[in-house]
C-alpha cells in the first residue's frame, strides 16, 4: 500500500470535532441491534438474518454505486484488498471468530480480550497510516478502556484462571479484535480516495456473495413460524435492523471517519457499549450499578477530551508549515 501514508493526510479540516462525534453516533446505533434481533432469532439463524439484512442493504447500495460508477474506475489492487478486508474480514470473519470464541472458552475472558480492539487499531494506524498521537492520548486511552471494563464487568474479575487467555477461545477473540481494529484503519485508508457513500455501499455489496456461501454451508432450513402477522413482524424488524444499526449507522460512521484519524475513531466506537447499557436500563429494566455509572462517566470524559485532541491535531496539520 504505497499510498497509505499519503491518504492519511487527506483529512479535511472542517468539521473538526463533528467527524469524531459522527463516528460515536454511528457506533452508538449498533447498540440498538438487539431490539430487532431478539424477535428475528426466534425464526431465523444468525447467518440467515445477516444475509437477509445485506440483501436489503444491497438494494439500497446498488443505486448509489451506479451513480458513483465513475469513482469505481479509480480502484486499484490495494483498494480492492482493503475493501475485502473491511467487508469480509471486519463484517463476517470477525463476527464468526467472536461467536465461536464465546462457545469455546471463558466468556468473560473472551469479552475482555475483545475490548483490546482500540489497541490494535491505534497500532495499525501508526504503522500503516503513519498517524501521530498527540500528548496525553495514552492516559485518555487507558481511562476509556478502564471505563469500558467497569461498564462490562463492574468490580469483579472477568476470568477464573490465566489459562482463559491462552486457550483457543482467547486466540479467536484476539483475532476478532484485530480484524475489527484493522477494519477501522482500512476504512480510513479507503476514505482517502473515495467518498463515504461509496465505501459504505461497497462494504455491503461485497459482503453479500460471501454471506451467501456462509449461509449455504450452514445448511439450516428456511422457515417462519406463525401466520401472516408473525411474518409481517419479522419483515418489519428485519427492515428496521437493516436501515438503523445497518445502513444509517455505517453512513454516519464513514462520514465521520472521513474527517477523523483512525486512532481517534476507534475510541469513539466505545459509545457502543454505553448505548447497550442505556437500552438495558430503559427497555429491559435492568438495574444499573455504581461501577457501570462510573464507567459510563469515565468513557464520556475520555471521549470529550479525545475529541478536543482530535480538533487540535487536525488544526495543527492544516497549518502551512505542519
Is 94 contained in some domain? yes
Task: Give me 185's grid cell.
Answer: 484503519
Is 58 contained in some domain? yes
Under the banding of pLDDT at 50, 70 and 90, the label for residue 65 is: very high
Higher pLDDT, 198 or 135: 198
pLDDT higher than threshold 70 for residue 316: no
Mean pLDDT value across the chain:
83
Is 172 contained in some domain? yes
CA 64 to CA 155: how far, in whole Å? 47
Looking at residues 129-154, what average pLDDT do you find? 88
Under the banding of pLDDT at 50, 70 and 90, the label for residue 228 is: confident
Q: Are the C-beta atoms of residues 165 and 113 closer than 8 Å to each other?
A: yes
Is 1 contained in some domain? no
Q: Which residue has the cell 480492539?
A: 117
Write down the pLDDT at residue 159. Answer: 58
For residue 297, the enclosing domain spans 20-309
Looking at residues 268-279, what average pLDDT do you find? 87
Which of 28-37, 59-68, 95-104, 279-288 is least confident? 95-104
Q: Are the C-beta atoms of residues 251 and 197 closer than 8 Å to each other?
A: yes
Task: Count up the domains in the chain and report the number.
Answer: 1
Looking at residues 268-273, what average pLDDT do you find? 90
Percent of the chain past pLDDT 70, that is, above it, reads 85
Is 256 contained in some domain? yes
DSSP assignments along 263-318, one per residue: HHHHHHTTHHHHHHHHHHHHTS-PPPPHHHHHHHHHHHHHHHHHHHHHHHHHHHHT
Is 105 contained in some domain? yes
**pLDDT per residue over 153-193, tens digit each?**
888 776 555 555 557 777 888 898 999 999 999 999 999 99
If we measure between CA atoms, which residue out of 310, 305, 194, 211 comes closest to residue 254? 194
Under the banding of pLDDT at 50, 70 and 90, the label for residue 13 is: very low
CA 193 to CA 10: how far, in whole Å? 9
pLDDT higher than threshold 90 for residue 274: no
The contacts of residue 54 (CB under 8 Å, 6+ apart) are 204, 207, 208, 211, 242
Is 14 contained in some domain? no
Q: Which residue has the cell 462510573?
A: 294
Under the banding of pLDDT at 50, 70 and 90, the label for residue 262 is: very high
Other residues' Cβ atoms within 10 Å of the Cβ of residue 146: 15
Q: DSSP state, 195?
A: -
CA within 13 Å, CB half, 27: 21
Amino acid at each position: 500500500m504505497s499510498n497509505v501514508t499519503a491518504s492519511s493526510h487527506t483529512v479535511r479540516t472542517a468539521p473538526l470535532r463533528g467527524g469524531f462525534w459522527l463516528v460515536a453516533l454511528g457506533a452508538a446505533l449498533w447498540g440498538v441491534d438487539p431490539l430487532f434481533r431478539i424477535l428475528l432469532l426466534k425464526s431465523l439463524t444468525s447467518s440467515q438474518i445477516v444475509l437477509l439484512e445485506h440483501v436489503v442493504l444491497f438494494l439500497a447500495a446498488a443505486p448509489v454505486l451506479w451513480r458513483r460508477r465513475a469513482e469505481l474506475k479509480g480502484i486499484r489492487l490495494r483498494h480492492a484488498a482493503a475493501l475485502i478486508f473491511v467487508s469480509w474480514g471486519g463484517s463476517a470473519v470477525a463476527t464468526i471468530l467472536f461467536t465461536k470464541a464465546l462457545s469455546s472458552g471463558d466468556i468473560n475472558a473472551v469479552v475482555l480480550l475483545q475490548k483490546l480492539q482500540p489497541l490494535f487499531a491505534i497500532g495499525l494506524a501508526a504503522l500503516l497510516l503513519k498517524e501521530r498521537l498527540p500528548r496525553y492520548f495514552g492516559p485518555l486511552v487507558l481511562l476509556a478502556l478502564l471505563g469500558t471494563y467497569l461498564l462490562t464487568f463492574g468490580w469483579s474479575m472477568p476470568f477464573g484462571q490465566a489459562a482463559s487467555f491462552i486457550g483457543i477461545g482467547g486466540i479467536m477473540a484476539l483475532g476478532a479484535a484485530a480484524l475489527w481494529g484493522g477494519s477501522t484503519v482500512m476504512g480510513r485508508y479507503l476514505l482517502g480516495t473515495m467518498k463515504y457513500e461509496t465505501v459504505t455501499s461497497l462494504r455491503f455489496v461485497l459482503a453479500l456473495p460471501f454471506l451467501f456461501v456462509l449461509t449455504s454451508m450452514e445448511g439450516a432450513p428456511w422457515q417462519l413460524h406463525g401466520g401472516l402477522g408473525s411474518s409481517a413482524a419479522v419483515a418489519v424488524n428485519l427492515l428496521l435492523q437493516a436501515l438503523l444499526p445497518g445502513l444509517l449507522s455505517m453512513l454516519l460512521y464513514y462520514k465521520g471517519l472521513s474527517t477523523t484519524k483512525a486512532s481517534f475513531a476507534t475510541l469513539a466506537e466505545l459509545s457502543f457499549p454505553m448505548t447497550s447499557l442505556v437500552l438495558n436500563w430503559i427497555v429491559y429494566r435492568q438495574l444499573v450499578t455504581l461501577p457501570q455509572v462510573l464507567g459510563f462517566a469515565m468513557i464520556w470524559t475520555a471521549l470529550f477530551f479525545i475529541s478536543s485532541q482530535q480538533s487540535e491535531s487536525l488544526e495543527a496539520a492544516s497549518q502551512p508549515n505542519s
